[in-house]
Amino acid sequence: MEFAPFVDLLGGEGAEAWEILTESRIALERGEDVIVLSIGDPDLETPGFVVNAAVDALRNGDTHYTELEGRSSLRSAIASKLSSSAGVRIDPDWVTVLAGTQNAFYSACRCLFGAGDEVIVLDPSYVTYEASIASTGAKQVRVEQPASDGFRPRIDAIEAAVTPATKGIVFSNPSNPTGVALRKEELEAIARLAVDNDLWVVVDEVYSDLVFEGAHHSIVGMPEMLERTVTVSSVSKSYAMTGWRCGWAVGPSELGSHLRKMSLINLYGLPGFIMEAANTALREGGEEIETARAIYKARRNLVLEELGKASEMPLLVPEAGMFLMADVRAHNMNANNFAWDLYRSTGVSVLDAGAFGSTSKGWVRISYGVDEVRLKEACLRIVSFTQT
């Protein structure tokens, strides 16, 4: 039997890089001595008061259908959070609650882009952006943010990529995989391009709470960007709730009406008890965010110190998030081969950053989402491997 052509759009050039994650997790379940640094799943526990909110909701019978756009209290909490970050008032009616950042990103792309459109994607970018955009029939146009520039955006290159067919610009801020947090002037420059060329901007801000120094800046707060920006995020990283699958898309109210129709056909609303947990996290979890940020910053510093002892392996200092990029070209020009050799020799699983784009080929992405004891042990093994 044949499948629809659509299925050919669901992969991506970097899909094979994730096989190392699958194998290492299976080995971990078998009890083998492996350390998995190839996924951004926090080892921190969901705060107890958040779990209790879900349990209480379940015990009170919160097991029925819910509003397609999400509960009003949660939408208000999300709007308040983004309003504070962006410095502009976000109406709760502009918020649609969806099943995580990924579902929000995919749903937004399906509503914004179509056949014949071009979408500028800052390279490197999160791996699922490629398939999400391809599923709409639009063409992604990758614009390199070179390693030589610290993976920061080249505004002139973005401007040069704009054509009459360009419909939008897509990026994450802070970035996965690089940990780069965009400066205010960089966002202002991208915003000017969007306004001057009448473009949508879709920005993934899932790591916005985990900026280590200085403030996070939201592009939706830039002049004339409120009506043309779609911000997607979730409770996954900030509150250690990856498995709860609760995220959102924030954009003009007309987009919200389209997203509700998307939810009708592919989600039919999130479970109520999940939304009660997310609402509690957003309203009462300020201290937990501060704790998480401090933990990840300490782990970042540990990894920088320990891996700084490695032989010929330059590091990019991450400004946010839970990943660090390491240049392994002195050891193997093929970073995927380096990752597999490292895993087979030491049991440490890292990810070929080439999965995120051509700009990051020759680099690996290392997660510091595990406790400091295992993290230090992993670094010792990596350093030893580079010195053999």
Q: How far apart are CA 307 and CA 301, in angstroms?
A: 10
Residue 15 confidence (pLDDT) above 80: no
Q: What is the share, in percent, of the chain residues with pLDDT greater than 90?
A: 93
The per-residue pLDDT for 14 is 66
Residue 153 confidence (pLDDT) above 80: yes
* pLDDT confidence bin for 193, thresholds 50/70/90: very high
* pLDDT confidence bin for 7, thresholds 50/70/90: confident
- Which residues fall within 8 angstroms of residue 352, CB to CB, at 6 or more apart? 14, 17, 20, 335, 336, 338, 339, 364, 365
Domain definitions of the chain by residue range: 5-46+287-386, 48-284
How many Cβ atoms sit within 10 Å of the Cβ of residue 18?
A: 16
Which H helix or E strand runs over 315?
Answer: strand 315-316
The CATH number assigned to the domain with range 48-284 reads: 3.40.640.10
Q: What tokens does 372 get?
A: 């400091």
Domains 5-46+287-386 and 48-284 share a fold: no
* pLDDT confidence bin for 122, thresholds 50/70/90: very high
Residue 207 is classified by DSSP as: T
Look-up: residue for tokens 């997660």? 367
Q: What tokens does 169 get?
A: 């610009």
The residue-averaged pLDDT of 194-212 equals: 98
Residue 141 confidence (pLDDT) above 80: yes
Q: For residue 96, which phi and psi values (nearest 5 degrees)?
A: -120, 125
Q: Do 14 and 38 touch, CB atoms closer than 8 A?
A: no
The residue-averaged pLDDT of 14-23 equals: 82
Q: How far apart are CA 191 and CA 208, in angstroms?
A: 18
Residue-wise pLDDT tens digits, 275-323 = 999 999 999 999 999 999 999 999 999 999 999 999 999 999 999 999 9
Look up residue 220 and give its amino acid: V
HEC-encoded secondary structure of 110-173:
HHHCCCCCEEEEEECCCCHHHHHHHCCCCEEEEEECCHHHCCCCCHHHHHHHCCCCEEEEEEEC
Residue 194 confidence (pLDDT) above 80: yes
Q: How far apart are CA 359 and CA 122, in angstroms?
A: 10
CA-CA distances (angstroms) from residue 102 to 82, 192, 197, 225?
Answer: 18, 27, 27, 22
**5-46+287-386: CATH class:** alpha beta
Q: What tokens does 26 get?
A: 């299976």
The per-residue pLDDT for 40 is 87
Residue 12 confidence (pLDDT) above 80: no
Q: How far apart are CA 231 and CA 383, in angstroms?
A: 39
With the C-alpha atoms ordered 264, 270, 276, 277, is the resulting torsion angle positive or negative?
negative
Provide the angle, in degrees to the nearest 10, between the axes of the packed helices 286-307 and 372-386: 20
Q: How far apart are CA 77 and CA 73, in angstroms?
A: 6
Q: How far apart are CA 220 and CA 232, in angstroms?
A: 11
Half-sphere exposure of 355 (CA within 13 A, CB side): 26
The residue-averaged pLDDT of 351-375 equals: 96
Q: What ranges in 30-127 are assigned the alpha helix state H?
A: 48-59, 72-86, 100-112
Residue-wise pLDDT tens digits, 238-287 = 999 999 999 999 999 999 999 999 999 999 999 999 999 999 999 999 99
Which H helix or E strand runs over 304?
Answer: helix 286-307
Supply the pTM of this predicted model: 0.95
The residue-averaged pLDDT of 153-166 equals: 98
The per-residue pLDDT for 13 is 64
Residue 11 confidence (pLDDT) above 90: no
